[in-house]
Amino acid sequence: MLGRVAATLAGVPIRVFTVHGWPFGAYGGLQGRVYLWLERLMRPITTSVICVAESTRELGLTEGVCGPERTVVIHNAVDVSVFARDRRRRRLPRIISIGRLAFPKDFATLVEALRIVDAEHEAVLVGDGPGLRDVTAEIRRLGLSSRVRLVGARRDVGDLLAQADVFVLSSRSEGFPISILEAMAAGLPVVASDVGGVAEAVVDGATGLLVPAGDPGSLADALQRLLRDAELRRSFGARGRDRVLRRFDAASFRAAHLELYRRELARRGLPAPLAEPSPTEQLLSVAAEPGK
């Protein structure tokens, strides 16, 4: 919001806002109403709105914080090529979950589901945040310390995904989570809360399993189904990786943004940027500079 106000005052002609999830959709009560009021105030000074999911766009239109003619959907994306698949056989299937330990992520429901699951497994929870102490205490209280590891914030997420067998995301609210796309790119089946745009990424019964938010029993049932069926894990994971390649790869994401920027420039009669120089042209340009 501050960025859009500052850009308006500075005379920047095009102001594009990307919505990863409307705050008023995640929070209730007075806090949610304040967020809604502020977003409605921002509408007149917002040139274009990019929503990362169809569900996000629909909510924004319903609540009057954006208009249909100036709102587009560009799903989040990942570079699939950086995610390797490592399906070596382990003694126990490994569950992995990645996310900030704070609302709207719901690690309490996940930990309770892990307690209910009776199929043999191990779990790795990746992330940090204000909820770390509570999640750690709950794991200890439920006697799960021997099979649930908290590894904190990590920079080797690709390697951790390659070493896992099932990805799970338990959330109360989401936009279009990149963590799910990364897991699918790594060839993992996904179990996730059916919130926000999650169903636009995960095809229930084909690339993963969707469950109601805040329901540890349903989450445990879905995890147990995959833990007990290695072939189902393999087929879901293969379809998921193919889906990301076809629909959510970084190249199409980049092209969609460039198309939007050029369209907005043309609408205002502003010159479009020149085509990007090739690597050879860049080298020649540098070589031509004085002193080079």
Domain membership flag for residue 291: no
Residue 104 and residue 233 in one domain? yes
Residue 223 and residue 128 in one domain? yes
* Per-residue model confidence (pLDDT) at position 278: 56
Domain membership flag for residue 25: yes
Six-digit token string for 53: 């999911």
Domain membership flag for residue 292: no
Residue 101 and residue 236 in one domain? yes
Residue 130 and residue 95 in one domain? yes
Residue 86 and residue 139 in one domain? yes
Question: φ and ψ at 177, to 5 degrees?
Answer: -65, 125
Separation of alpha carbons 260 and 262, rounded Å: 6
- Three-class secondary structure of residue 246 per DSSP: helix
Separation of alpha carbons 273 and 282, rounded Å: 16
**What CATH number does the domain containing 203 carry?**
3.40.50.2000
Separation of alpha carbons 147 and 139, rounded Å: 10
Owning domain of residue 179:
80-247
Residue 8 and residue 148 in one domain? no
Q: What is the pLDDT of residues 163-193, one digit of tens each?
A: 999 999 999 999 999 999 999 999 999 999 9
Task: Find all residues with CB under 8 Å of 66, minimum gap 6, and list them.
Answer: 43, 46, 49, 51, 57, 60
Residue 84: pLDDT band (50, 70, 90) is: confident
Residue 126 and residue 23 in one domain? no
Domain membership flag for residue 164: yes
Residue 280: pLDDT band (50, 70, 90) is: low
Question: Helix H segments across 88-131?
Answer: 107-116
Separation of alpha carbons 278 and 229, rounded Å: 49
Domain membership flag for residue 290: no
Six-digit token string for 145: 């310390």
Residue 205 and residue 86 in one domain? yes
Residue 198 and residue 255 in one domain? no
Residue 85: pLDDT band (50, 70, 90) is: confident
Domain membership flag for residue 288: no
Domain membership flag for residue 128: yes
Q: What is the pLDDT of residues 195-217, one digit of tens each?
A: 999 999 999 999 999 999 999 99
Q: What does each C-alpha distance from 86 to 68, 158, 164, 185, 187 come to in angstroms?
A: 43, 10, 8, 12, 9
Asked if residue 59 lies in contact with residue 25, where contact means CB atoms within 8 angstroms, the answer is: yes
Burial group, residue 78, by CB count within 10 angstroms (0-12, 13-18, 19+): buried
Question: φ and ψ at 195, to 5 degrees?
Answer: -130, 155
Its pTM stands at: 0.86
Look at strands 94-98 and 122-126 and give their pairing: parallel
Residue 68 and residue 203 in one domain? no
Domain membership flag for residue 173: yes
- Please count the structural domains in the chain: 2
Give the bridge partners for 78, in sequence order.
249
Q: What does each C-alpha distance from 281 to 26, 56, 285, 292 come to in angstroms?
A: 48, 41, 6, 15
Residue 233 and residue 156 in one domain? yes
Separation of alpha carbons 58 and 210, rounded Å: 21
Residue 45 and residue 117 in one domain? no
Six-digit token string for 183: 């897991």
- Name the DSSP letter for residue 270: P
CB atoms within 10 A of CB 209: 24
What number is the average pLDDT over the span 78-107? 88
Q: Measuring CA to CA, which residue among 116, 125, 103 is closest to residue 25?
A: 103
Residue 292: pLDDT band (50, 70, 90) is: very low
Given the structure tokens 């940027």, which residue do they identify? Answer: 273
